[in-house]
Every structure is written in C-alpha cells, then in structure tokens.
C-alpha cells in the first residue's frame, strides 16, 4: 500500500469522527453516529480494496506482456531460421540451374 492511500484513509476516518461528533451534538442518537463511522470506514476499506485489486490486475497484465514478448521473440527466431533455410535452398537451386544452363 502506498503512503498516500494510508494518509487519505486516515484523513477520511478522522473526518468521519468529526462528522459523528457533530451529529451526536445535534441528534444525540448513537445509531446515527455508529452508522456514520461504519459507512465512512467501509468506504475507506472499499477504496483500499479497489486499489489493491487494480494493482494485482496491473501485475497480471505485465506478466502476460512479458510472456507475449518472449513468445514473439521465439516465433521471430523460428521464422528467421525457416526463411534462411528456404533462401539457402533457393540459392542452391538457382546455382544448379545456372550451372546447367552454361553446359
């Protein structure tokens, strides 16, 4: 977790307590105060959870990208070998045809 996310969560929870305190002064109802604290706390946890999930998705994408890059290099090498082999064979055939044509 980044320090920025922790700071934002702490600020959010602090202001939830401020809001709860102000609601307590106005209504003096413990259910409203507890609900306010729970809602803001759950909201902070939700944000942190979404952030963590996005990080995991980003790592998975990076891993797949690396794997794809390695696969592409492997295919490139295979194609290059096959083209080189075909080119050599065509050069041999052309050489044979030229030799036969001069006889």
> Residues 77-100: pLDDT tens digits?
999 999 999 999 999 999 988 888
Please determine, for residue 103, whether its predicted confidence score (pLDDT) is greater than 80: no
Please determine, for residue 19, whether its predicted confidence score (pLDDT) is greater than 80: yes
Percent of the chain with pLDDT over 70: 97
pLDDT at 14: 86
For residue 35, give both structure tokens. 């609900």
> How many C-beta atoms lie closer than 10 Å to residue 45's C-beta?
11
Integer Cα distance of 42 and 34 in angstroms: 12
Please determine, for residue 10, whether its predicted confidence score (pLDDT) is greater than 70: yes
Burial label for 72, CB within 10 Å (0-12, 13-18, 19+), is exposed
pTM above 0.85, yes or no: no
Instruction: Determine contact, residues 33/54, Cβ cutoff 8 Å.
Output: no
Contact residues for 19 (Cβ-Cβ < 8 A; gap 6+) = 36, 40
């Amino acid at each position: 977790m980044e320090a920025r996310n922790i700071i934002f969560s702490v600020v959010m929870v602090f202001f939830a307590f401020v809001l709860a305190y102000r609601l307590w002064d106005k209504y003096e109802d413990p259910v409203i105060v507890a609900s306010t604290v729970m809602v803001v706390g759950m909201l902070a946890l939700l944000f942190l959870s979404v952030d963590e999930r996005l990080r995991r998705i980003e790592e998975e994408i990076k891993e797949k990208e690396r794997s794809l890059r390695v696969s592409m290099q492997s295919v490139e090498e295979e194609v290059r070998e096959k083209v080189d082999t075909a080119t050599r064979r065509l050069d041999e055939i052309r050489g044979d045809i030229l030799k036969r044509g001069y006889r």
